[in-house]
Structure 1
Amino acid sequence: MSYKKYYQRFIQAHPQTQHYACHSHHYWPDVTRDAMLQYWDDTARLVDDKWDMMFGQKVPKVQRLIADILQVRQADQLVFAPNTHELLFRLLSCFDWSAGLKVLTTDSEFHSFTRQINRLAEDNRVQVVKVPTEPFATFEQRFVAAAAELQPDLVFFSQVFFNSGMVVTELDSLVGQLEQCCRATVAVDGYHGFMALPTDLSALDGRIFYLAGSYKYAQGGEGCCFMLVPAQNKFRPLYTGWFAEFGALAGVKSQQVGYATDGYQFAGATMDLTALYRLQAVLELFVADGVTIAAIHQHVQQLQQVFLAKLDQLQHAWLNRQQLIVNDLACHGHFLTFRGPDVKAVAEMSALLKQHQIETDYRGDRLRFGFAMYHDAADINLHCLSKVSP
């Protein structure tokens, strides 16, 4: 099945481009344009009264759509923010740094988390232990062993690692092992998993924090990230804003700062909700058309197989199946990552491909090709590789 009908505006703007950077900058479905205009119209109609409508209608609707995708019961335990970094720092602000906060994570987390945790470690505010994800076959065993030894306050890892495509396929099992060996708060970066891999968090509901957003596979663009917050937790974020007490602003104030009794206990302050409108439009479109995450995932897996088959025919010196970071496509994210000879060679390859209107991206010595609903097998054309230097 072709899903190109949803993306005509972006495709028409780039008719000759093979866009394999969708794991970073995903095309938006056409419905998102109308959604942005609707936000403007609602703002003009309601002005300051729009916040009651947003929190009374829009936010609950999108919460429910996301909760259905993740198969969690309490949709109101989802909180929104412009980016996951804001949500992450709000979670970090719940801990007493003066007591020696201990964080267990990996060497393969996204830049915002890595940069922030490194900066805190520079000032000796936190003790950080990073477990290498490679070799992948022993990662979970080594990660649990590190948790047992460190006894961390916070454990943070990805559902799909951004620099390889490796998937933690049994989230329930890993979290269960962590709970048996330590009493840490567990947070999972689900950005490369949400709306890409079928994800069932029903067994983890109330046990983990889960962060993701709309910029990548959810296709709503930047500005609408979310965090699933365990119900009945005892946290009082130090980094907090007025959204965290929305609905009680006109009430009698106690001497202690109050928080919402649902996921909005982790809310911040005023944000542009245009992205929330876009995300709602995309998710409602897929529900109406019966487009499931399982169908999207199957489509992408088929594209990956076609891509690799065409790459096999070219027999490139290093851009080949043997250099895949993760070669088991049955438990793989929606992008393929190839290890090049060095950083310079990978940067040059990405630039050469761009000259032939093939958009990729790279991280160090790793070149990434992502696949999306707006690709068809017939779109994949790698003949230019026979003309570029190895």
Structure 2
Amino acid sequence: MPTLADLTKTPNKLAALYSHAAVGARIMLTGHIHQAMPDCAGDAYQAHWDCLNRYGEERFEQEFEIADRVRAGFAELIHAAPERIALASSVHDLFIRFLSAMPLATRPRIVTTDAEYPSIARQLARLAEAGVEVVSVAANPASTLVERLAAQINDKTAALCVSSVNFETGHQTLELDTLMPLCEARGVALFVDAYHSVNVLSFSVEDYNLQGAFVVAGGAKYCQMGSGIAFMHVPEGADFRPVITGWFGGFDPVVDNPAATPLAYADGAARFHGSSIDMLPVFRADRVFDFFRAQNLTPEFLDDVHHHQLELLANTFKRNDFDPAVIKLSTSVEYMGGFLSFDSPHAQALSEMMRDRGVHTDYRRHWLRMGPAPYLCDEQLTDAIHALEESVHELQG
């Protein structure tokens, strides 16, 4: 089991366990989009093939057992009960099921920000076209976002949708823990996109006072599971009846009549389950959860690792004394989530120049973004800033 010191050295002790992704040979600072999967995730492909093809219709028992283990794994990450976790292939799938449970006929108002992830932002934009009142609050500055969101809640508001970390800038939503009581007082459902918090920050529904909130995240980024697997924490209390409902949303999808009326819903988060999906991502998730446990890669340890990596990137950047008119840090590391963002009018050009030097970054509008991962060593991170310095010099001619 690695220590923080093991991960700072060259080579990083974890890197050998990601040999297929060649993480030691490339500087991949796009971990906020996709972190490499450990080699053991490849075992899931054969296991899934055997389950699907060898066992035929008898595969369901095995699939349900693995899905239960994955639900328990996600529940452990956010300190929740497994029965409060619904699975789907994407956050969008879960979001539309959430929306379909909202009383939009009597409360036709949704409050959100102008920096939600596209799968949520696009859906809300379409609802606005269809006549739902969607109030979009400026996400910046993050320090006052919660206060400004709360001011938009009224008795016509069905839901408030916000991210724990701004997916464009990486800035944390401060005082997020104060939102749930405000929503509960007005009968408003709180939906939190925590994709950029889970398994990179010490994030739990308890610490953020979100036991009564819908909280979503998934496997494509910091969980290292790849695409096709997402989860939603469903709060206790209300008798939710999502209009978008699949046959897994009943009590026993194998035995019960899924269309018997009045429509019956399963207990807990299961009422938000969908229908048959490709189970390969779930098999991968199961293997990766086992890997993280074996390596003792807990959320708390990964939080320490990522803070060390962000601090190293930021301090190396500061020592280079870059011209702030060309590029500057967008905020202090303590207010960042899992990646750093740099404010630059040349973000796209710099990202492309750094890629030419073997350093993978990305950009959103005028933000150059660097997202490290636990399998990168300190030398790779300092080399990345040196590549940025060379790129800036090239830019300035």
Per the TM superposition, whether the score is higher than 0.5 is yes
1:201 aligns to 2:205 (yes or no): yes
1:169-225 superposed Cα distances (whole Å, 9 cap, x missing partner): 544323223333x21011110100111111221374651111000000000000000
Change (3 A) 1:315 1:205: closer
Q: What is the aligned residue count?
A: 378
- The residue number in structure 1 matching 2:367 is 366
C-alpha deviation, 1:249, in angstroms: 4.0
| Equivalent position SS for 2:92 | helix
Alignment of 1:219-234 (within 5 A): 219-234=224-239
Q: Given the alignment, which residue of 378, 383, 386 partners 1:383?
A: 386
Q: Given the alignment, which residue of 75, 78, 100 partners 1:70?
A: 78
C-alpha deviation, 1:6, in angstroms: 2.6
Residue identity opposite 2:18 in structure 1:
Y
Residue identity opposite 2:70 in structure 1:
V
Residue identity opposite 2:127 in structure 1:
L
C-alpha deviation, 1:265, in angstroms: 0.6
Query: Contact 2:177–2:210 at 8 Å: present in 1 too?
Result: no
Query: Contact 1:60–1:76 at 8 Å: present in 2 too?
Result: no
1:315-371 superposed Cα distances (whole Å, 9 cap, x missing partner): 333488x732221x2242111111112xxx221111111111111111111111101
1:32 aligns to 2:41 (yes or no): yes
Change (3 A) 1:169 1:66: farther
Q: Given the alignment, which residue of 276, 284, 295 partners 2:290?
A: 284
1:248-286 superposed Cα distances (whole Å, 9 cap, x missing partner): 443366322222112121111111111111112112222
Q: What CA distance in whole angstroms lies between the structure 2 residues aligned with 1:352 and 1:82?
A: 35
1:120 aligns to 2:127 (yes or no): yes
Q: What CA distance in whole angstroms lies between the structure 1 residues aligned with 2:145 and 2:98?
A: 25
Alignment of 1:77-226 (within 5 A): 77-99=84-106, 101-124=108-131, 126-147=132-153, 149=154, 151-180=156-185, 182-202=186-206, 204=209, 206-226=211-231
- The residue number in structure 2 matching 1:348 is 349
| Equivalent position SS for 1:108 | coil
C-alpha deviation, 1:166, in angstroms: 1.6
Change (3 A) 1:351 1:367: same
Query: Contact 1:105–1:131 at 8 Å: present in 2 too?
Result: yes
C-alpha deviation, 1:246, in angstroms: 6.1
Q: What CA distance in whole angstroms lies between the structure 2 residues aligned with 1:184 and 1:379?
A: 46
C-alpha deviation, 1:96, in angstroms: 4.2
1:5 aligns to 2:16 (yes or no): yes
TM-score, scaled relative to structure 2: 0.89
Residue identity opposite 1:108 in structure 2:
A
Q: What CA distance in whole angstroms lies between the structure 2 residues aligned with 1:307 and 1:122?
A: 43
Q: What CA distance in whole angstroms lies between the structure 1 residues aligned with 2:314 and 2:144?
A: 26
Residue identity opposite 1:202 in structure 2:
E
Q: What CA distance in whole angstroms lies between the structure 2 residues aligned with 1:129 and 1:365?
A: 25
1:22-56 superposed Cα distances (whole Å, 9 cap, x missing partner): 1002111111001222111222332122122222x
Query: Contact 2:145–2:174 at 8 Å: present in 1 too?
Result: no
C-alpha deviation, 1:137, in angstroms: 2.5
Greater mean alpha carbon deviation, residues 287-296 or residues 109-118: 287-296
Q: Given the alignment, which residue of 250, 261, 271 partners 2:277?
A: 271
1:83-136 superposed Cα distances (whole Å, 9 cap, x missing partner): 000110111112344445210111111111111101110221x10111212222
Query: Contact 2:161–2:191 at 8 Å: present in 1 too?
Result: yes
Query: Contact 1:159–1:189 at 8 Å: present in 2 too?
Result: yes
Residue identity opposite 2:188 in structure 1:
A
Greater mean alpha carbon deviation, residues 207-216 or residues 283-292: 283-292
Q: What CA distance in whole angstroms lies between the structure 2 residues aligned with 1:179 and 1:146?
A: 14
Change (3 A) 1:111 1:368: same
Q: What CA distance in whole angstroms lies between the structure 2 residues aligned with 1:255 and 1:233?
A: 20
Q: What CA distance in whole angstroms lies between the structure 2 residues aligned with 1:53 and 1:236?
A: 28
Q: What CA distance in whole angstroms lies between the structure 1 residues aligned with 2:176 and 2:104?
A: 28
| Equivalent position SS for 1:153 | strand
Query: Contact 2:97–2:242 at 8 Å: present in 1 too?
Result: yes
Residue identity opposite 1:339 in structure 2:
D
Alignment of 1:301-340 (within 5 A): 301-318=307-324, 323-327=328-332, 329-340=333-344
Q: What CA distance in whole angstroms lies between the structure 2 residues aligned with 1:207 and 1:152?
A: 17
1:61 aligns to 2:69 (yes or no): yes
Greater mean alpha carbon deviation, residues 95-104 or residues 362-371: 95-104
Residue identity opposite 2:386 in structure 1:
H
Change (3 A) 1:69 1:330: same
| Equivalent position SS for 1:95 | coil
- The residue number in structure 2 matching 1:260 is 266
Greater mean alpha carbon deviation, residues 196-205 or residues 347-356: 196-205
- The residue number in structure 1 matching 2:10 is none
- The residue number in structure 2 matching 1:44 is 53
Q: Percent identity?
A: 26
